Structure 1
Amino acid sequence: MRVAVIGKGGAGKSVISGTMARVLARDGRRVLALDSDLLPGLSLSLGAGPDPAEPPLNDAAEQDENGRWRLKKGIGPVRAVKRYATDAPDGIRLLQAGKVPQAGLEPIMGSINAFYRVVHRLPDARTFDDWTVVGDLPAGPRQIAFGWAPYADTYVAVVQPSAQSALTARRVARIARSRDGARAVFVANRVTGPADVRHVEEMIGEPVLAAVPVDEAVARAELLGFAPIDHAPDSAAVLEIERLVTALADE
């Protein structure tokens, strides 16, 4: 299974992707979590703590004589994961593009470019053939359109019961489905009941694969910076994400 989680900002992508990764790892899979969002989220949702202060992949990148970024000689997906990924609970390896510091994008440009090149070579790295990959993408269509998740065979579009969220989810799913062999499914998030689920399905024009309820325990976990699966493992939201993982595996 190779999944990328997409949708509007604030839809809950990091909680869903982080919890999915933990569920898959607990099922005995080797999991690589890929974080291309330049804002914080996935590391905390995984239970891996705050993001590293230094851009993880800066040391893997160099500029050529024309100033273009490239991977240093000898660095490919296998070595990048071995050297620059960090450990997360349940044996997950987390590879991040980097987070925007106060100084802006310039200090992390090497790391961002290295990450992009690593994920583009990932599908050809036989070492990862038996790994499960879960990617957390930033809000909106840009990274999907520009190929930041070439590893994904399934895109999970997270949508809240609002017109703005549904419109974004439809757009990003359409872009994802334009990629050869890729499928896109919808997950309703923070729904209050069946009426919200029906409203989401009417707005997106198709059934959702899962409906994650509003959950005070998950909101509390996010407030405290904890992984929902650690803070509230039996919460309704976590249990529904577990069902989502099963549904994805069965499709």
Structure 2
Amino acid sequence: MKIAVAGKGGSGKTLVAGSLAFLLTRAGYTTLTIDADSAPNLGFLLGLSAREAGAIVPVSKNEGLIAAKTGTAFPGVYSLNFTVDDVVSKYAVPTPAGPHLLVMGTVTSMGAGCTCPANSMIRALLRHLFVERDEMVVLDMEAGVEHIGRGTAENVDMMLVVSDAHRQSLAIAERILRMAKDAGIPRLALVGNRIMDAGQEQVIRDFAHTRDLAVVGMIPFDATVTRAGIAGDSIETLQNSAAVCAISGILDRIFQDLQTRPLIRDAPGGHA
């Protein structure tokens, strides 16, 4: 199963992505998390120290790796024929919370110069991770909508778009969902986050209903999440919080949907 988590910056998508990866690992699945945000911070949530997280070079900025994979003997010419099957084993980092973490980084321009080899590398690696590997993969996407146009989430099984009840957050969620639908992602769902009362939940449900969108769950406002962020605590300290319990319910519903309309590959350890 390959899940992409998207949303406006500050929407809580990293909490959702990190919690899903943590819960999948705790359930016995081999799980890889991918941080594709331009300001990666998923490592902190998964328990890495500031020093450990800071030492990770994003794949898109790893000039040695990109040159080794795409370089040729001709200046300005790069190869499109390369393998990426060794990248995870060499560059994914184990985390205290359980999942392995691969910091992808982003390619800000599709055009000129050294960006082209980096972009080719990212596309090939993402296709390998989503199509050719069997473990669970959770992708924490770049905030906003531009990444959809770059094809970052092609070949995922499902995209969750996280939003609170604010109009701007919902407007960006709508754009992401529309672009993801156009890109052919087979399952799309909205996740309400930081829900403080029934009125906020209804705003999100009304928004989804008028646009024929599925709502896979509501995550309540949880002060323990805020306190953990200030303290720099990992997801393990939040596993019994109201927010993570709600995300666990969302994961259960995802599995129920996949059992009804199967897309999942055979999972390690006999899970399905």
Structure 1 and Structure 2 fold alike (TM over 0.5): yes
Helix, strand or coil: the match of 1:61?
helix
1:92 corresponds to: 99
2:142 corresponds to: 138
Offset at residue 176 of structure 1 (A): 1.2
Q: Larger C-alpha radius of gyration, 1 or 2?
A: 2
Flag the 1:138–1:149 CA change in 2: closer, same or farther, 3 A. same
Equivalent pair of 1:3/1:154 in contact (CA under 8 Å): yes
2:110 corresponds to: none
Counterparts in 2 of 1:116-155, with a 5 A limit? 116-125=123-132, 128-129=133-134, 131-155=135-159
Specify the code of the residue in structure 2 equivalent to 1:166.
L
Offset at residue 235 of structure 1 (A): 1.1
Counterparts in 2 of 1:220-239, with a 5 A limit? 220-227=227-234, 229-239=235-245
Specify the code of the residue in structure 2 equivalent to 1:236.
A
2:256 corresponds to: 250
Is residue 31 of structure 1 aligned with residue 31 of structure 2? yes
TM-score if structure 2 supplies the norm length?
0.79
2:146 and 2:237 map into 1 onto residues whose CA distance is 33
Is residue 216 of structure 1 aligned with residue 223 of structure 2? yes
Flag the 1:68–1:26 CA change in 2: closer, same or farther, 3 A. farther
1:157 corresponds to: 161
Is residue 67 of structure 1 aligned with residue 71 of structure 2? no
Flag the 1:71–1:242 CA change in 2: closer, same or farther, 3 A. farther
Runs (4+) of structure 1 exceeding 4 A deviation are 68-73, 106-113
1:69 and 1:91 map into 2 onto residues whose CA distance is 36
Tell me the number of residue pairs that the alignment of Structure 1 and Structure 2 aligns. 240
Offset at residue 179 of structure 1 (A): 2.7
Q: Cα RMSD over matched residues?
A: 2.6
Is residue 178 of structure 1 aligned with residue 182 of structure 2? yes
Offset at residue 91 of structure 1 (A): 3.5
TM-score if structure 1 supplies the norm length?
0.85
Specify the code of the residue in structure 2 equivalent to 1:219.
T
- Structure 2 stretches lacking a partner, 5+ long: 108-112, 258-272
Offset at residue 146 of structure 1 (A): 1.5
Helix, strand or coil: the match of 2:94?
strand
- Structure 1 stretches lacking a partner, 5+ long: 101-105
1:68 and 1:55 map into 2 onto residues whose CA distance is 24
Offset at residue 209 of structure 1 (A): 1.2
2:171 corresponds to: 167
